[in-house]
Amino acid sequence: MLGLAALPKRSGSRRRLALSAAAKVNLVLEILGKRADGYHELATVMQAVDLSDRLILDEAPDLGLVVNSDVIPGDATNLALRAAVALREAARVNGGVHITLDKRIPVAAGLGGGSTDAAAVLFGLNRLWRLRWPGARLAELATKLGMDVPFFLRGGAALGTARGEVLKPVPAGAVALVLVSPPIESSTAAVYGRVTPSMYTDGARARTMAGILRTRQAARVAASLYNGLEAAVAPLHPEIARMKAALLAAGALGVAMSGSGPTVFGVARSFEHARQIRARLTRASWRCWAVRTLGGPAVRVRTIESMGRTMGRGQAARRGTLDPVFGGSNPPAPTTIRRGRR
Ligand code: C5P
């Protein structure tokens, strides 16, 4: 396993940006039909949650990636590195970046871990390379990396339509959830390949959830969870039904699978209740988290270092070195300021 001890050495006055990149769950995922381009038409409510990967972007003459995980590739197939390559080409940048990726979100688990890392790289490099691309232009490039990636440039909650990439922000109150992830990986393409017309629905559930989210009522959110992909995945992995049953037995108000699985999540009455539920889930092979939904951005700047100086996010914003990615419509939430690594 590669550790963060392998952090590349900084040279001279190059700049460094430390970011966090949050996971998501799909509170509702409906498949409306098959499209002519081979993708599926979706209506989904995506919600960012406070389980995050950490990234450090170091300005460098070339491109490089170090990952603290032996289950995801550190080579050119890694979505974070592909994001850097795509932006460098599209913006005709000569310089590069060394990415250090601290994976905390389980991989190929339905939580958008790879997509949020890619979004963080686009967001971070837009600043590190001083590109000043507007959010819409970044989102267009993000779609080329994966249909979930544009969501992570915004965060909060959003209704996703078309292939999931056409987003409408949904005002949402905070809800506490318990995530349960088995030691199984699920390929999104393979799951969509098992979808049949019997799994199609009309999008009403997603619209209903978007309305309910405003109310902050956990019981109503719990009663309206739905994932049309479950019918395609559950027969392959009996563990999914077991995790859902265990969450309900432990007190969850409602349960569903996230994305193309296999992670499932349960809705709790409060964060304290979520912690109690998590403590009652005893199977050693499951990884469990009590989390809160995030109303603000999924990607957050933790620190910026320039010319050997460390600036917190607020300080940098006052100096005019940070631009909100989507104008003022998605204001950054307060961030924890930590000293960068040296
Ligand atoms: O967008 P992303 O690259 O993550 O999607 C992975 C695969 O999932 C696609 O290649 C496609 O097979 C399938 N997919 C789909 N319909 C969607 C999104 C993804 O069929 N709306």
pLDDT, the chain, mean: 88
Between 340 and 191, residue with greater pLDDT: 191
> 58-62, 297-301, 327-331: lowest mean pLDDT where?
327-331
Question: How many Cβ atoms from other residues are within 10 Å of residue 78's Cβ?
Answer: 20
Q: Give nearest CA residue, ligand 1 atom 19.
A: 39
Ligand 1 site, residue 31, Cβ cutoff 6 A: no
Name the residue among 23, 19, 182 with its Cα closest to residue 105.
23
The reply to whether ligand 1 has any atom less than 6 angstroms from the CB of 127 is: no
Q: 70-97: per-residue pLDDT in tens?
A: 777 777 789 999 999 999 999 999 999 9
If you measure from the C-alpha of residue 150 to the centroid of ligand 1, how many angstroms do you get, rounded to a whole number?
14
From the list 18, 84, 76, 8, the residue with the least C-alpha distance to 52 is 18
Cα–ligand 1 centroid distance for 79 (angstroms): 14
Atom of ligand 1 nearest to the CA of 165: 21
pLDDT, mean of residues 35-43: 98
Q: Which of 3-7, 24-28, 70-74 has the lowest mean pLDDT?
A: 3-7
Q: Which of 44, 107, 147, 195 has most ligand 1 atoms within 8 Å of its beta carbon, as the pocket-test mutant?
A: 147
Tokens of 284: 């050693």
Residues serving a catalytic function are 24, 148
For residues 194 and 118, give the distance between their C-alpha atoms in angstroms, rounded to a whole number: 26
Q: Give the residue whose CA is nearest to atom 8 of ligand 1.
A: 189
Is the Cβ atom of 189 under 6 angstroms away from ligand 1?
yes
Q: Is there an atom of ligand 1 within 6 Å of 194 CB?
A: no
Q: Is the CB of 164 under 6 A from ligand 1?
A: yes
260 close to ligand 1 (CB < 6 Angstrom): no
pLDDT digits (tens, 9 = 90+) for 128-139: 999 999 999 999
Residue 199: count other Cβ atoms within 10 Å of its Cβ.
15
Backbone torsions φ then ψ of 90, nearest 5 degrees: -65, -35
Do 175 and 267 touch, CB atoms closer than 8 A? yes
Axis-axis angle for helices 79-90, 113-128 (nearest 10): 40
Q: What's the angle, vertex CA 150, arms to CA 148 and CA 153, rounded to 5?
A: 120
pLDDT of residue 69: 81
d(CA 171, ligand 1 centre) in Å: 26
Name the one residue in this structure whose structure tokens are 């933790």: 302
Q: Once rounded to an integer, what is the mean pLDDT over residues 227-242?
A: 96
Torsion of CA 289, 292, 296, 297, to 10 degrees: 10
The pTM for the full model equals: 0.88
If you take atom 3 of ligand 1, which residue's CA is the nearest one? 146
- In one letter, which amino acid is 18? A
Residue 111 CA, ligand 1 centroid: distance in Å: 14
Q: What is the CA radius of gyration of the chain?
A: 20
Q: Which residues contact 136 (CB under 8 A, 6 or more apart)?
A: none
